[in-house]
Amino acid sequence: MKPVGLFQIRRTYKNLGRFRDIVNVFLKHGLGQIIEGLELHQYAPIRWWYKPLHKRLAREETVSLPERLRIALEELGPTFIKFGQLLSTRPDIVPREYVKAFDSLLDQVPPFASEQARQIIESELKSPLSELVAKFHDAPLAAASIAQVHRATLWSGEEVVFKVRRPGIQEVVKQDIDILHRVADLIERYVPDLAFLNARGLVEEFQQVIQEEMDFLREAENASRFKANFEGSKELYVPKVFLHLTTQQVLVMEYLEGTRIDDLDKLREAGVDLDKLARRGSDVLFKMILTDGFFHADPHPGNFLILSNGQLGFVDFGVVGRIREDLLDAMGSTFIGLLNRDYDALTRQSINLGFVPDNVDLE
């Protein structure tokens, strides 16, 4: 047997229990058709096989398929929640009804014990917590799939948040990524109608994103770069990062008080001009993309706050995007061509950006 084959067998055996968990969750939510389509029925419980075929594949008509899939992803935990969130940002390849369902995926899991958070902080920073902070709030501000956040007050009087990576999350993510690669292979083998998804490419993209998101040193660098890019800006405020208190597993940043950008009722009550806010957000977006070539790539509402002075505030920097300088130039020229209605320039830039197939008659 080839070494690759041995490796695949070993990896499949190692993930056998998790495979069965996934299959059971899918069956629980009436997703038997997906199990059948991916040839994963060998992992199904024996009792499932005693059901008539039409019952094994039956749909729960009261809840749509996209909604049932969303619920299943939430139940499967951190990696699958994050993967669903990635899919919700790809309306170019994912059907609209699935994008809508996955967009509401809750990146909330039960918090881990505050004592564990304290131990991780002390282990990473090599100091008792009492020497690092004057006050530490045991109740987390938020508990998400990758980390949870605790508010604290430094001895200097500065209000901060400690973002602490969830214990054991690296092992969980690694196992689930292996399984997603296996599922992507099965999709390409057994479901040719979904070839347009490029399942393997999606999983590889997701793997890179989630690995970057778990490295808080990288996130600290991202935040510091954003702060430099928007120094003195009236549109956007970027919190200070306390680099001397930051490691791969612990990130300490300035605490921001504000209202979520999607809490429109509260914003209206506070007298926020929503039209002005939209223009401010557009200005920030265009600066990130067209001037800096460095942009926030996880734009869900929980990552953006509106501060009391009307500024937009970023609170998460785990996922960013970069644009090459040549692509920046082409994009800028495209916008100028649009504004000037210069169709010859638009044609040239469409070619430069690769939007025009080779077989098109350019004349």
Q: Are 314 and 236 in contact (CB under 8 A)?
A: yes
Q: What φ, ψ does residue 161 adopt, rounded to 5°?
A: -125, 140
- 137 and 230 Cβ atoms separated by less than 8 Å: no
Query: Could you give phi then psi for residue 51, rounded to 5 degrees?
Result: -80, 145
Q: What is the DSSP string of 320-360?
A: EEE--HHHHHHHHHHHHHHHHT-HHHHHHHHHHTT-S-TTS
CA atoms within 13 Å, Cβ hemisphere of 339:
6
Find the catalytic residue in 298, 342, 344, 361: 298
Contacts of 14 (CB under 8 A, 6+ apart): 175
Q: Strand runs (DSSP E) across the chain, as ranges?
A: 133-136, 142-143, 147-154, 159-165, 236-237, 250-254, 259-260, 294-296, 304-306, 312-314, 320-322
In whole angstroms, what is the distance from residue 353 CA to residue 337 CA? Answer: 14
Look up 298 and say whether it is catalytic. yes
Strands 236-237 vs 312-314: parallel, antiparallel or unpaired: parallel
Residues ≥6 apart with Cβ < 8 Å to 270: 259
Q: For the purposes of burial, counting CB atoms within 10 Å of the CB of 309, is it exposed (0-12), middle (13-18) or buried (19 or more)? A: exposed
Active site residues: 298
